[in-house]
Amino acid sequence: MIQFMTNQKIAQTLEMLADLLEFQGANAFRLRAYRNGARVIREMPDSIEKLLENDQDLAEFDGIGKGVAAKCQELVETGKLEQLEQILEEVPRSVLDLLNVPKLGPKKAAALFNELGISSLEQLEAACREGQLQQLPGFGEKTEAAILAGIAIAVAANQRILWSDASLIVDQLREHMASAPALNQMEFAGSYRRGKETVGDLDLLVDSDCPQEVMDHFAKFDSIQSTIVRGETKMSVRLENEFQVDLRVVPGTSFGAALQYFTGSQAHNVLIRGQAKQRGLKVNEWGLFRVNSEGDDEWLAGRKETEIYEGLGLPWFPPEIREARVESEWAEVRPLPALIETGDICGDLHMHTTATDGRATLEEMVAAAKAIGLNYIAITDHSQRVTMAHGLDGDRLLAQWDAIDQLNRAANDEFLVLKGIECDILEAGGMDLPDDVLARADWVIASIHYGQQQSRQQITDRIVGALQHPHVSMLAHPTGRLINRREPYQVDMEAVFQAADENGKLLELNANPRRLDLNDVHLLAAKQRGIPVVINTDAHRTEGLEHMKYGVQQARRGCLVPADVANTLPWDELRQRIGRE
């Protein structure tokens, strides 16, 4: 049976092909075509498979050429790419792991493979520690040290996937399992349910009196590559991308207790068990019990997760906050603070258009924002320092702002488009555009794109200086990390928090699932210091506006409520807050 080809899988396959072709020294034009096509396909709202079923010519879509369209057709019809299969016969699959190492692109990886025979992360680490890389042209001592430091990122990339990628698997599994016989209810637990930014595996809990029937149905899921183990009530499988899914079938009397137990976290469950012990009770995956000296413990609850917490005199904690950070404190609060939800967001204050590196026009971004119910947005294209994105100088920026003014005047609704800019913090400090230009903006974002390898003190000084600037509104993606791709740059976050607090500036939670920057720990720290956060998508396409949900989920992990997030406010109130009256 040919597996259903999701857009995500097609895009991943094209990117793998491009990486391996670059590894082999292929033409740069071909590589660019595959990568551009992968990016477009990943963000398309329509299924490639369905489009092909309807005889749609994929080459008519901007960014998808005839070559990419042919590859899509081949994937949908056969489930694989013959060209990719041939390359994998010539190149060990473990080479793909090398491509996840920062500072080690396909060309350098090819040099290591051809000259030193390195084809795995283990071999790469050993070669770095022995100083072998320095023997090759283009590999100095600093490069070797950076590659060695980046191996941990590559290992993590192999072990954990983005929550957003895990959610695609979850959606497919939900659809598949919905028709399982004898299934009463199901839920995903573990780090996925807690909304962690990366997920190591999936825990699927099912309530059923017929475990074998449920497991038989589970085994028919298209993406299963192999079965690791199958028992009476548990089954573990490995999917085609080596990702593991564990299915547990429990009786209805224990479903709530199992959901609480397998959701975790481990630290949270330690707190729960401590609360139970103080009351002469015990709690496990089977339920809540009263402990009797005779050994025949009395079952009290377990059908619903809320019953477990109620039986312990505790409120039901949202899964995102179950990390043993605030539960003890919040246990005394009734009702619990209501965490932020996507519907609380009024505006999105970080996005790009075709004026720089965006893929949609100003008008298209405005229409998309209106369609999803936002009240205002800020157009924040890059400033001139970001030459690779064709950043805006003062004249081009002012021309864009004139166009925004005209658009607002012509509108027959209350939707507002703000004149903004993502202005780079220069390597030597200071802002990338003159003060007289920035003074005319509604919204100024300060961000770092260059000089990320500077010392901790240099980067901290640059950021603090930007937060002291009178026209800056917010600091974007404050640590610069890319999950599983790039470590945060060295920055003193305490100094950043202090500067934001003292100068009345806002900090961004970038909702792009590869960034989610600030992380949950920093978000809680900002909340505790009373520093408002702004959740933005940093969208470069209209589809990117949908990433807000990932940022909101991250905010919930940081225990943020609507009052902690500045863009839950109407623009008139937010404008006063940042002093742009």
Q: What is the pLDDT of residues 350-383, one digit of tens each?
A: 999 999 999 999 999 999 999 999 999 999 999 9
The secondary structure element, H or E, covering residue 509 is: strand 506-510
Coil, helix or strand at residue 462: helix
Does the pLDDT value for residue 572 go beyond 80?
Answer: yes
Find out whether 538 and 510 touch, Cβ atoms under 8 Å.
Answer: yes
Closest by alpha carbon to 542, among 356, 365, 355, 371?
365
Reported as a single tens digit per residue, the pLDDT across 256-271 is 999 999 999 999 999 9
CATH, range 7-159: 1.10.150.20
The pLDDT of residue 1 = 34
For 121-170, write each residue's pLDDT tens digit.
Answer: 889 999 999 999 988 888 888 888 888 888 877 776 667 889 999 999 99
pLDDT at position 415 is 97
Helix or strand holding residue 329 (H, E): helix 327-330
| Chain CA centroid to CA 255, Å | 29
pLDDT band of 486, cuts 50, 70, 90: confident
- 29 alpha-carbon distance from chain centroid: 29
Measured CA to CA, the distance from residue 269 to residue 284 in angstroms comes to: 9
State pTM to two decimals: 0.81
Fill in the amino acid letter for 168. Answer: L
> How long a stretch of residues is the chain?
581
> CATH 3.30.210.10 spans which residues of the chain?
255-330
Q: Is the peptide bond before 265 cis (omega within 30 degrees of 0)?
A: yes
| Residue type for position 472 | V
pLDDT score at 580? 67
Q: Is residue 399's pLDDT more than 80? A: yes
186-198 mean pLDDT: 97
The CA distance from 37 to 34, in Å, is 5
H or E element in which residue 237 lies: strand 234-239
Name the DSSP letter for residue 552.
Answer: H
Per mean pLDDT, which of 56-70, 230-244, 516-530 is the most reliable? 516-530
By the 8 A CB rule, do 441 and 420 touch? yes
State the pLDDT confidence band at 477, using cuts at 50, 70 and 90: very high
Q: What is the mean pLDDT of residues 186-202?
A: 96
Assigned CATH for 161-250: 3.30.460.10
- Rounded CA-CA distance 445/515 in Å is 17
Dihedral of the CA atoms 365, 369, 375, 380 (nearest 10)? -40
Region 41-68: mean pLDDT is 86
The pLDDT assigned to 24 comes to 86
Tokens for 524, please give them.
């809680």
Q: Which residue has the tokens 């369209």?
A: 69
Task: Assess contact for 314 and 538: CB atoms under 8 A.
Answer: no
CATH number of 342-577: 3.30.930.10, 1.10.10.60, 3.20.20.70, 3.20.20.140? 3.20.20.140
Q: Would the pLDDT of 4 be above 70?
A: no
State yes or no: pLDDT of 283 exceeds 60: yes
- What average pLDDT does range 334-363 have in this prediction? 96
Residue 46 has pLDDT above 80, yes or no: no
Beta partners for 203? 246
For residues 478 and 495, what is the distance between their CA atoms, to the nearest angstrom?
A: 12
Token readout for 184 is 């009463």
Task: Confirm or reject CATH 1.20.1050.10 for domain 255-330, answering yes or no.
Answer: no
Inform me whether the pLDDT recorded for 103 exceeds 80: no
Q: How confident is the model at residue 50 (pLDDT cuts 50, 70, 90)?
A: confident
Please give the average per-residue pLDDT across 203-218, as a whole number.
97
> Cα(381)–Cα(308) distance, rounded to whole angstroms?
50
Residue intervals of the chain classified under CATH 3.30.460.10 are 161-250
**pLDDT value for 104:** 80
